[in-house]
Amino acid sequence: MTHDPRLLLHVGCGPAAPGKLPPQVFAPGAWREIRLDIDPGVAPDILASITDMRAVADGSVDAVWSAHNLEHLPAHEVPRALAEFRRVLKPGGFALITVPDLQQVAALVAADRLAEPAYQSPAGPIAPLDMLYGHGAAIAAGNGFMAHRTGFTARSLEAALVAARFDAVQVVRDQHFALWATAQVAAAALAA
């Protein structure tokens, strides 16, 4: 007996490329990716903002994957984006979110390493300045979507997810200056 793949809404997906989904969470073949982005240049399946995903039905996806998107919103829009993530999830579904860890970044800034590369990414070296304000090279090349407008510590990200009425929220810090949050919608939750 074969099962249909679970539905994954990849928000702020950027250009299509292999390896954009964390395979330890989204096993190849087990998930069908639906790509959503505000930038028409990346040819998403759904052209929309993460603060207004009305093109995605309530309770229609099993997971939402958001890699480095929330920090691009003004702080006052983060609750709306999280409410949208929760709205589109099926009961028992989950959001996986990663953002820069400003607590780790602040330690580098305090050590006067603002412009020194902290790690290498596929886009090139990333300095604390990039983690605070957005990837400088991409912004300089005209991609204004890359500017950062807010930021998070582990405690503030957890609080935002709890305020958005997610259940079973867990936030962990990695060694690459990022926070990873998993937030679930209870299986018995009603679409709200």
Tell me which DSSP letter residue 102 carries.
Answer: H
pLDDT at residue 189 greater than cutoff 90? no
Domain of residue 37 covers 6-100+150-184
Which pLDDT score is estimated for 145? 85
Query: What digits encode the pLDDT tens for the residues 148-160?
Result: 999 999 999 999 9
Q: Give the count of domains, the chain.
A: 1
Q: Is residue 111 part of a domain?
A: no
Across the beta sheet with 167-173, the strand order is 46-47, 31-37, 6-11, 61-67, 89-100, 178-184, 167-173
Q: Is residue 26 part of a domain?
A: yes
Strand pairing report for 46-47 and 6-11: unpaired
Query: What digits encode the pLDDT tens for the residues 12-21?
Result: 999 998 888 9
Q: Is residue 113 part of a domain?
A: no
Q: Is residue 81 part of a domain?
A: yes
Which pLDDT score is estimated for 65? 98
Of 40-49, 65-74, 91-100, 137-146, the poorest mean pLDDT is in 137-146
Query: What digits encode the pLDDT tens for the residues 164-175?
Result: 999 999 999 998
Band (pLDDT 50/70/90 cuts) for residue 192 is very low
Q: Is residue 15 part of a domain?
A: yes
The secondary element (H helix, E strand) that includes residue 171 is: strand 167-173
Q: What is the mean pLDDT of the chain?
A: 94
Q: Is residue 114 part of a domain?
A: no
Which pLDDT score is estimated for 27? 93
In angstroms, what is the C-alpha Rg of the chain?
17
Q: What percent of the chain is predicted at pLDDT more than 70?
A: 96
- CATH for 154: 3.40.50.150
Which pLDDT score is estimated for 2? 55
Band (pLDDT 50/70/90 cuts) for residue 122 is confident
Which pLDDT score is estimated for 191? 46
